[in-house]
Structures are given as C-alpha cells and as structure tokens.
Amino acid sequence: MLTKEKVLKLAGMIQDPILHKSVQVKEVKIKENYVGLKVGLSKTGTPQQLEIQQKLVDLLKEAGAESVGLRFEQLTLEELTPDEAKKVNPGVPPLLSPNSKTAFISIASGKGGVGKSTVSSNLAVALSRLGKKVGLIDADIYGFSIPNMMGIERRPEIVNDKIIPPERFGVKVMSMAFFSEDNSPVLWRGPMLGKMLNSFFTEVNWGELDYLLLDLPPGTGDIALDVHSKLPTSKEIIVTTPHPTAAHVAVRAGKMALKTNHEILGVIENMSYFQSEETGKPEYVFGRGGGETLKNELATDLFGQLPLAQPDENSADSSRSIYGADHPVGKVYESIASRVAAKVEMEQFADAVLEGMK
C-alpha cells in the first residue's frame, strides 16, 4: 500500500522545469487506492505542466494507485527566492501584441442554462465552415464542457515547449478540461484561475487565427473581469433565451462589457421555439421576445434565433452538440456566423481606413 513517504519520494523525482528542483508537494491525501496531490509549480498552465501531470500519474499508478487526483498551484513570490522570481517572467505573446490581426469575440450570458457553450462551439464551427481560421477557448473554467460537446478525446500535444491545441471541425480548442484528471472539479480561487486563463494566451501556439472565441462563465465574476482586462479590444456576443427574466439578467452582462469599454457585437436568442413534428408549427416553450428586448436594451443587433433541437449524432460532421452543415439548425448557425463575420470585418476595414488617414 502506498504511504505518504513513498508518494513524496516519487513526486521528488519530478523536477520543476524552471527552478530545476523537485516540485513542491503541498498536500497529500491517500484513501484506499486513491492518491490526491496538491503540487506547487513556478508556473502553471504550461506545456511542462502537462508533462509533469502525466509523469506523476504514471509513477503513482505504477506504484499501486488506481486513481490519481492532481491540483496545481502557482508558487507565490513569497515562496520563491529573488533569483527564482526573476526566472518566472513571461513576455507579451504574439496573439496579444498590438499588431495581432485576430478578432476576439467573447460569448457571455447573464445566467447559466441558456446554452451559451452550445452556441459558442457551434458558432466557432460555423465560422470555420465559412473558411475562417478559428480558435476557441473554454474560459468557463469551473464548468468546462467544450471538449465533450465537440467530441474531442485527445489532449494537447507539446512541440518546442509550446502547447498545440487539439483541432476538430476546423476549430482549435483549449480548455481547463485538458488539465483535469477524470473530470475532477476545479477547486482553485479566482487569481489562480486568472493565471491559467492567461497561459492559454501565452503558452499555446495558436498559429494564424482570424477569430478567437471565448466561452465565458455566466454572470459577471472574476474570470469575465480578467478577460475584459486582458483583451481590451474584445467584442462581445450576449446569449439569452426568450424568457423575460433571462433577458433581464443578460442585460447585466452587457452593461458590464460596456463599462469595461468592450463593444457589444450583438445578441443571439437560443431555445427560441420548438418545431413540433405533429403540427409542423413552432411552439414557444419559453415565451417570446427576450432577444428583441435585450437587443433594444443594449442598442445592438439580434443576429438570430435558434430553436430547441438535437444534433444528428449519426452524421459524419456532427457530434454531441455540433450540428451538421446540412442540418436546419446548422444552417441557422451559418447565417448567424455570416452576419457576425460581416460586422467584424466591416469594422476592421473602417479601423484600417482611419488608421491610414492619420
């Protein structure tokens, strides 16, 4: 049976890639054949963390653990010597540089349960089908679901010390799900989550992107604020349902974007109606008018209204939550994506003209 001393000895075989000394084990829990570790690293969310994670899991399972739970924390400045602190100093990534041509679009909602992640993943796929180069960050770090929705089973690869995001349906994806073992919950506090989110910009090789979509957590919490501060030029799409209360709450997310000088690109109304097979008529299960109300409140565009439906999982280009290009809902997403791209690219052209006149 594994003991705490044996676990610490095994973990001591793994080196911190920046500090070049054994990783710091902050907590050990052993229960029957389960081992849980809280590990301190000089820097989290890096390609090296993925390697350390896999090595620790392999070592502990070879030693007899049937299940392994890992939590990583970034070491604070107080836990580092002055020389060590100097080694942990990332530069500005190309994706966030002033010369970046990537359009950032945050997908937000006032509350959970409105299908924001479904909209984010399908909108990303629809943009890719239009010939755009698209990335998608699952920034809903407590409720990550994008890899499952898109049917992504493999983890990111590491090439030249950079994370290469998995790609499906032409969309490159990064998610906290790739850093979680066995779908374990994330128990980090806001500042640590912010650092992990920042690593998705600094440590991932996205290549050339026309659009980078971010599926934000619902509401107006720490992660949404972090995104707003890191991406001052991000545009925002607000997702709501037709229900008046959902639209009322969604206004808060929109007003938060405006207060942080983000542009509200438009509104998408999800679960607008259910197309009855018996009558052939739409049934408005959640009422009507939420999207229109939100559009008027925020003085923006209503990009489209999506029905309640289920993708055809037998289709070659479908998944758990991704609609095929020929599916009626897939065609609605294509229409929405066309409107979104037209608006973004028109604004980019106008900005370029103004810049040229200076």
Angle between helices 190-202 and 222-230 (to 10 degrees): 40
Q: What are the strands of the beta sheet with 34-41, ordered from one edge?
A: 24-31, 34-41, 67-74
Sketch out the chain's domains with CATH numbers.
4-87 (3.30.300.130), 94-357 (3.40.50.300)
Residue 273: CB atoms within 10 Å:
19
Residue 187, pLDDT score: 47
Residue 219, pLDDT score: 66
Rounded distance between C-alpha atoms, residue 311 and residue 308, angstroms: 10
Mean pLDDT of the chain: 83
Q: Of 237 and 316, which is predicted with more confidence?
A: 237
Residue 168, pLDDT score: 93
Rounded distance between C-alpha atoms, residue 232 and residue 22, angstroms: 38
Which range has the worst mean pLDDT, 41-45, 63-67, 286-290, 348-352?
348-352
pLDDT at 221 over 70: no
Q: Which of 309, 306, 313 is nearest to 150 (CA)?
A: 313
* Cα–Cα distances in angstroms (integers) from residue 172 to residues 125, 130, 136, 200, 342, in the given order: 10, 15, 6, 12, 22
- pLDDT tens digit sequence for 260-273: 777 899 999 999 99
Q: Which of 171, 190, 79, 176 is nearest to 133 (CA)?
A: 171
Residue 125, pLDDT score: 96
Residue 305 backbone phi and psi in degrees, to 5: -125, 125
pLDDT at 92 over 90: no
Separation of first and last alpha carbons in the chain:
72
Residue 13, pLDDT score: 92
Q: Which residues contact 32 (CB under 8 A, 6 or more apart)?
A: none
Banded pLDDT at 45 (limits 50, 70, 90):
confident
Which range has the worst mean pLDDT, 37-46, 51-60, 196-205?
196-205
DSSP for 111-175? Answer: SSSS-HHHHHHHHHHHHHHTT--EEEEE--SSS--HHHHHT--SPPEEETTEEE--EETTEEEEE
Angle between helices 328-357 and 116-129 (to 10 degrees): 70
Q: Do 294 and 254 touch, CB atoms closer than 8 A? A: yes
Q: What is the DSSP letter of 75?
A: P
Q: Of 182 and 136, which is predicted with more confidence?
A: 136
Residue 139, pLDDT score: 82
Residue 48 backbone phi and psi in degrees, to 5: -65, -30
Q: Could you give the angle at the alpha carbon of 92 between the alpha carbons of 350 and 128, nearest 5°? A: 50
pLDDT at 28 over 70: yes
Positions of E strands within the chain: 24-31, 34-41, 67-74, 103-108, 134-138, 157-159, 162-164, 167-168, 171-175, 211-215, 235-240, 263-269, 274-275, 282-283, 302-305
pTM here is 0.72
Q: Which residues contact 62 (CB under 8 A, 6 or more apart)?
A: none
Residue 83: CB atoms within 10 Å:
8
Q: Which of 328, 285, 336 is nearest to 310 (CA)?
A: 328
Burial of 20 from C-beta contacts in 10 A (0-12 / 13-18 / 19+): exposed
Residue 130, pLDDT score: 96
- pLDDT tens digit sequence for 148-196: 899 888 888 888 778 889 999 999 999 888 876 655 544 445 455 566 6
